[in-house]
Chain A
């Protein structure tokens, strides 16, 4: 595996270099090079099969690339770590489909997301401290689910599940949050609430958001990266990207 010749610069939270992933000859990523600054809110768009989800899979340890390197902050080699290790290092991931623990309550979902050293024997005797309870209450407030705290997560509305999942990521206290299609299937009101939530998070965390909904992207993004066929096609603010003829051809114009 090729390491970058120099360590990433200190203002980068994520540095991907020359990532290549192929599945049965199909190149999901083809020499993807991308970096995200600390504290940035970056939107990633692109047509189906552009490699957005594969990129997230590589960053979170689900998929190993054939080639390339992936660094978190300055010194964490993501390709050498397992999924739980990457989560412990400070990267949280929200799935495309809301993925919460449906047979547990909202409160219990957040409890399980508490950041910390996790092992079977410790969790047999673990109890919530006062500070942790307070933290859960704070997060419930942020995601607007305080009155649903005792409800089963499976009984929540679609939008509420999405927020609960974001809340679980916040419990993890990650430095970098990867969010996959947060407003898919949401009502306009839910979308507006989600925009608000993500913008408030962007102050304290670095965020990468993958989304298809262009209005949503326009409402949150300062910088947009367009992926196409496993590579970066264009990069810049929304106006620049929208006016790029190559982007219009493969994606926006379609």
Chain B
């Protein structure tokens, strides 16, 4: 495909253009409001809120990954949190190695939890994680490898629909149980935390936080573009075709399993990168990230925002998480009920999610405007909330 065609593709994607502009605005505004505006000013963005924005953008990337396979290829994964967590663990291993002798036990090589367990040397699978580049490779390669092996068996056996969903859920649950075990070598129950720095920059410094948010914004924009290129290609049209009539695609000569497998792998890699960006910002990764509820929540974000729209899925992730931040602060015991109610209401009344609100008026422009408008509104709530919680 020529460069020209790619650009026209983005041009015709108005909602996507608005979405990308919004990401750019966040990437510029957040650092300015945090670094240049004095803390006394009402426009100052606290580091807490800054980190919250970074975290939400990681969730938005995970939502893109889910929408790519669910919204377009009709593959409902209820285990995407597993890929997110694996990417996070790969980043966490690098961050643990960066601690070096500054740990509580002061061992120059072994992370604290290994010293605590009386381990004498690093397990083999920790080799190389002292290098950032190695961790980067693992962040993509580990989720990709798992998706490849799992997907190969599942798609080849033509496991589809609810059976596939249940299997992905089981996969994530099994990984959670495995990572809870101390002898797995991933810190067991506690996972990894107490990170000190990344590439030599102090993780507790505001400037590092700002850079992480900007990098996350760039990764989110890049993920969006990658997904848009995929869904606008002939392969993307084939995914919608498979969703409509899988056997027709097969009798046209398409090896449907292999298409599903590759898009599943791409999606897993996106989820892994999202997880890797998440961990240095929230400062912890533990087995609860594999919990089934996390995968289900990701699917709800996509449903709320609008399945099969990409930008809607990303916006849905941000919105639902703002709501979660609010509810878990104000009425913690109600959050799960609120989430469930939200899912039921959206399914009943907004089958195309919030992005479908504009579509009903038959104008994509309005969809592009309505969702960001809600998003901006939400961000105000989030920021003031962040200040209140401080």
> Which residues of B251-281 are within 8 A (CB) of A?
251-256, 258-259, 262-263
Cα distance, A115 to B249, chains bound together (Å)? 12
Q: Are A92 and B251 in contact (CB under 8 A)?
A: yes
Which of A101, A108, A115 is B248 in contact with, Cβ under 8 Å?
Answer: A101
B249 touches A126 (CB 8 A): no
Q: Nearest Cβ in chain B — how far from A98, in angstroms? A: 10
Q: Given A103-B240, A104-B241, A112-B234: A120 and B248 within 8 A (CB)? A: no
- A83 with B234: CB separation less than 8 A: no
- Are the C-beta atoms of B233 and A99 separated by less than 8 Å? no
Q: Is the CB of A112 within 8 A of B237?
A: yes
Give chain A residues whose Cβ lies under 8 Å from the Cβ of B255.
82, 84, 118-119
CB within 8 Å for A108 and B237 given contacts A83-B250, A95-B248, A102-B244: yes
Cα of A122 to Cα of B253 in the assembled complex, Å = 14
Tell me, yes or no, whether A168 is within 8 Å of chain B by CB: yes
Q: How many residues of A contact B (CB 8 A)?
A: 34
Which residue on chain B has the smallest CB distance to residue A121? B262
Q: Which residues of B contact A82 (CB under 8 A)?
A: 255
Whether A88 lies near B238 (C-beta < 8 A) is: no
- The residue in B229, B233, B252, B256 that gathers the most chain A C-beta atoms within 10 A of its C-beta is B252
The proximity string for A residues 74-91 relative to B, scoring 1 for CB distances below 8 Å and 0 otherwise, is: 000000001110011000
Nearest CB of A to B121, in Å: 41
Contact B262 A168 (CB under 8 A): no
Given A62, A112, A120, A121, which contacts B252 in the complex, CB threshold below 8 Å? A112
Question: In the assembled complex, how far is the CB of residue A190 from the closest CB belonging to chain B, in whole angstroms?
Answer: 21
Complex contacts, A108 vs chain B, CB 8 Å = 237
**Which chain B positions have C-beta within 8 A of A93?**
251
Give the chain B neighbours of A6 by CB distance below 8 A: none
Interface: A162 (CB within 8 A): no
Q: A88: which B residues are within 8 A, CB to CB?
A: 253
- Say whether B235 contacts A101, CB under 8 Å: no
Instruction: Name the distance in Å between B150's Cβ and chain A's nearest Cβ.
Output: 17
CB A133 to nearest CB in B, in angstroms, measures: 13
On chain B, the residues within 8 Å of A109 by CB distance are 241
- Let me know if B390 is at the binding interface, CB within 8 A: no
Q: Closest A-chain residue to B229, C-beta based? A: A124
Q: List 19 A-B contacts (CB under 8 A).
A: A82-B255, A83-B250, A87-B251, A87-B252, A101-B248, A104-B240, A109-B241, A112-B234, A112-B237, A118-B254, A119-B255, A120-B235, A120-B259, A123-B234, A123-B235, A124-B229, A124-B230, A124-B234, A126-B235
Q: Which B residues lie at the A interface, using CB under 8 A? A: 1-2, 5, 229-230, 233-235, 237-238, 240-241, 243-245, 247-256, 258-259, 262-263
A interface residue numbers (CB < 8 A to B): 60, 62, 82-84, 87-88, 92-93, 95, 99-104, 108-109, 111-113, 115, 118-121, 123-127, 165, 168, 172
